Amino acid sequence: MVYVRKIIILIYIKGSEFLFCDDFTFYKTCTFVPYMSTSLYNPFKTFKFDNQTCFLTGKELSSVDEQIQVFPVWMMRAFDLEEKPFKMLDESLVTYKSLKLPCSVEAALVIEKMESEVERAFALGFDAVSELPQITLFQWMSKILYGVVFNEIQTGIRQQTLTGEEMNFSQVLVQKFKNLHAMLQSLLQPMEFEGTNPFSIFISKVDNPAETFNYRDEINTLIFSLRMNDFGIVACLQDNATNNIYHEDILKMVEGKTLHPVQFEEIAARYFYSVYLFNRLPEYTYLNTPKMIYVEPMPLADMSMKPIFDHWQVKVYGQVLENFWKPWGFILFEIIKDPDSPMSFITDDSGNFVPREAIELPLG
């Protein structure tokens, strides 16, 4: 494979190195540079997840007090989340406020600026959120999700130390988290995503009740959803925009519409299930230049010609949807009573969109 960017040619060699040269230069005169040889910090290289190192830059901190909250302070205070329980993967409960990231002053200031921009938009509502650059929303969500990942890893390391067992960490997850962390550094270094964005983001206006705050994430698949104010967001953070394509018909149907919360949760369930069916591990080339880091996705197709998404199973989807529809009390049997046409509040029996005014359900 050959990737051409401006006057630079990168030739894939032996699965791990690239040949670096200018146009019209014979390859035998070029020099080898390691894959992902950039100025980006990679904590997964030495598995460094202590509280003395900035999570984003890798710089040594002068004080353990150099920390930031994983969940923005304004959000925790607005929805009284600080002392509420947050369940970790090992089933232990911590509080939202206890989830923190070691962070240098310089990085914290950049993150604070980004979070203030998002806070203002979220306070204004759907129109302002829709106008935010997608990269800003990606950075905001990635910081939260990676923050949860960082705390999960620290918990795992502590448990490993106590038991004396060897840390067993999935290399697939390492690859996902490493790329997410690299892209989050776009907060600090100029970065351009070439070809397509590495993420899918769906934003909709939603007729939410007052004081709504509904947050979900799934760190294994790097998906995130949030419903508050008058909007809802779903984001797949490492899929090269494929989930938006997968749900293209539904997205066209709801475009410009205000959704009932049960409709938004149905769409969120579809995304959470489809990202589970997504059977590729996205890989990227990172090219460092004096002015910019260029990030280009590798093709998702492989030699097997296997579809990018595994087969959609109605029963499994129904189980996901049952969980998302808990506020309305629907059970799996009702949802998949007709396996060929599972329950939906987005489309009617004729496949037409159902206006939210026609839905006789509480807002949640």
The domain of 24 spans: 1-35
Together in a domain, 117 and 106: yes
Q: Is 31 part of a structural domain of the chain?
A: yes
Together in a domain, 24 and 127: no
Together in a domain, 247 and 263: yes
Together in a domain, 334 and 244: yes
Q: Is 135 part of a structural domain of the chain?
A: yes
Q: Is 93 part of a structural domain of the chain?
A: yes
Together in a domain, 269 and 345: yes
Q: Is 364 part of a structural domain of the chain?
A: no
pLDDT of 303: 61
Which pLDDT tens digit goes with each residue over 266-310?
999 999 999 999 999 999 999 999 999 999 999 988 766 889 999
pLDDT, tens digit only, all 364 positions of the chain = 333 323 233 333 333 333 333 333 322 333 333 334 458 999 999 999 999 999 999 999 999 899 999 999 999 999 999 999 999 888 899 999 999 999 999 999 999 999 999 999 999 999 999 999 999 999 999 999 999 999 999 998 888 888 877 777 889 999 999 999 999 999 999 999 998 999 999 999 999 999 999 999 999 999 999 999 999 999 999 999 999 999 999 999 999 999 999 999 999 999 999 999 999 999 999 999 999 999 999 998 876 688 999 999 999 999 999 999 999 999 999 999 999 999 999 999 999 999 999 999 999 8
Predicted model pTM: 0.87
Q: Is 143 part of a structural domain of the chain?
A: yes
Together in a domain, 286 and 246: yes
Q: Is 363 part of a structural domain of the chain?
A: no
Asked if residue 59 lies in contact with residue 49, where contact means CB atoms within 8 angstroms, the answer is no
- Counting the structural domains of the chain, the total is 2
Together in a domain, 5 and 96: no
Together in a domain, 25 and 125: no
Q: Is 316 part of a structural domain of the chain?
A: yes
Together in a domain, 192 and 216: yes
Together in a domain, 22 and 131: no
Together in a domain, 42 and 181: yes
Together in a domain, 117 and 88: yes
